[in-house]
């Protein structure tokens, strides 16, 4: 007669682990080895660490979902920023999906933990730390399933209903609006934050980026200059200053700002981003030697310098200056949420458009992004 399996219990909160579960449904701790049931921990202790476990899982999914990786690593010709609180380390390494993988969803175990956190917060409406932890977890989940951005906004608004000057909530609401590309709301929350904490360079820089999004490059430039007067080595503001100059049609100043950004780049990835944009805009102010290269080179640079697309390029096959296939291996296009897919296409299209403008090319250009395994076109980028 087979020996009955010993029940498993969570090493953190003492709840019994369900058969086949990867995480404790009470607190989110990854399932480990069989253990005797410890004393159950107080819900207050649960709130202190459960968000870290859930965020870790959501960040691990970031290795799968292009949305998170893309939003955290914008292409070379986009501003960088978005002031986020420090995140926990991933609970497990992310795995890249094959191109035919079904859309990614948040694991059921993690969803249960989020529900549990919502219940615990609702039981103590005055516990602002619990509500802010919940809002941050919902915000991370919102980068995978957009409906959670609505939940995050509601949780942060609850905090402001208790404390209208809570800095975490004001910054969080600004970040939610930033991710929704809603500059009006983002600016409202960032301005309130900065009235209380005017020295926060990251939030000031994010506000400048929202002004850029609102088609106000001159105001964005003023903000970036102000940040750089206080800290000439603040790379985020220096790089975005170049973007703002370009948006305002001041290409020579943009190139000079990029050259300075290259000098203060904090790491190789940041330096490569600057170099890619320098190549994109010509790399030298007017009056100096014209940049070398061709339209094909410029468009290839758009794709090869992209932090997500670039490493997966198998080949770029040109049929003419107007048409090419960019062949990618194991690219999770089908896993993109609709909002992320729209931004992905829009930003690549913008890169192609800027390349055409640089070489005064007016004919239509069409780029097919093709799956290396199936040969099927996943999306078309055209301008």
Q: What tens-digit pLDDT sequence spans the chain (383 residues)?
A: 444 444 555 554 455 565 655 555 444 555 554 434 444 444 444 445 455 555 555 555 544 333 333 333 344 556 666 554 333 322 222 333 444 444 557 777 778 888 888 998 999 999 999 899 899 888 888 877 888 899 999 999 999 999 999 999 999 999 999 888 788 999 999 999 999 999 999 999 999 989 988 888 889 999 999 999 899 899 999 999 888 888 888 877 888 888 888 889 888 878 888 888 887 776 444 344 444 457 887 788 788 766 577 677 888 899 988 999 999 888 877 777 787 778 788 888 888 888 888 788 889 999 999 998 889 999 999 98
Strand partners, 325: 317, 368
Place of tokens 């600057």: 274
CATH architecture of 44-182: Alpha Horseshoe (1.25)
Helix axes 201-213, 217-230, angle to 10 degrees: 160
Each domain of the chain, given as residue ranges in start order, spans 1-41, 44-182, 306-382
Start-to-end C-alpha separation, the chain: 70
Say which CATH topology domain 306-382 has: Alpha-Beta Plaits (3.30.70)
Q: Apex CA 351: angle with CA 349 and CA 352, to 5°?
A: 65
In angstroms, the CA 169 to CA 186 distance is 12
pLDDT digits 0-9 by tens, 225-261: 999 989 989 999 999 988 888 888 887 788 888 888 8
| Tokens read off for 244 | 């703002």
Does the global pTM surpass 0.75? no
């Amino acid at each position: 007669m087979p020996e009955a399996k010993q029940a498993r219990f969570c090493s953190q909160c003492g709840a019994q682990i369900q058969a086949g579960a990867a995480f404790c449904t009470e607190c989110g701790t990854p399932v480990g080895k069989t253990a005797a049931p410890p004393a159950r921990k107080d819900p207050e202790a649960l709130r202190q660490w459960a968000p870290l476990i859930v965020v870790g899982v959501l960040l691990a999914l970031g290795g799968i979902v292009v949305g998170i990786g893309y939003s955290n690593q914008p292409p070379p010709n986009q501003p960088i920023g978005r002031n986020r609180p420090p995140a926990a380390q991933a609970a497990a390494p992310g795995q890249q999906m094959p191109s035919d993988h079904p859309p990614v969803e948040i694991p059921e175990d993690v969803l249960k933990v989020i529900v549990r956190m919502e219940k615990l917060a609702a039981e103590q409406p005055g516990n602002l730390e619990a509500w802010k932890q919940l809002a941050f977890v919902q915000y991370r989940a919102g980068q995978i399933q957009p409906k959670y951005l609505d939940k995050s906004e509601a949780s942060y608004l609850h905090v402001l209903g208790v404390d209208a000057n809570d800095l975490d909530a004001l910054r969080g609401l600004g970040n939610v609006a930033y991710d929704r590309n809603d500059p009006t709301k983002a600016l409202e929350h960032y301005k309130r934050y900065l009235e209380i904490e005017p020295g926060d360079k990251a939030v000031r820089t994010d506000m400048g980026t929202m002004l850029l999004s609102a088609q106000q490059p001159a105001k964005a430039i003023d903000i970036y200059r102000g940040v750089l007067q206080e800290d000439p080595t603040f790379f985020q503001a220096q790089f975005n200053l170049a973007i703002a100059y370009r948006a305002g049609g001041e290409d020579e100043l943009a190139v000079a700002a990029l050259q300075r950004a290259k000098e203060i780049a904090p790491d190789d990835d940041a330096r490569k981003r600057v170099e890619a944009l320098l190549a994109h805009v010509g790399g030298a102010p007017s009056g100096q030697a014209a940049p070398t290269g061709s339209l094909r080179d410029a468009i290839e640079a758009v794709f090869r310098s992209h932090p997500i697309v670039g490493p997966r390029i198998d080949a770029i096959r040109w049929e003419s200056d107007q048409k090419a296939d960019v062949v990618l291996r194991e690219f999770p296009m089908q896993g993109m949420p609709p909002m992320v897919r729209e931004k992905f296409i829009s930003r690549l299209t913008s890169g192609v458009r800027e390349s055409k403008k640089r070489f005064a090319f007016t004919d239509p250009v069409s780029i097919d992004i093709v799956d290396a395994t199936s040969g099927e076109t996943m999306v078309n980028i055209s301008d």
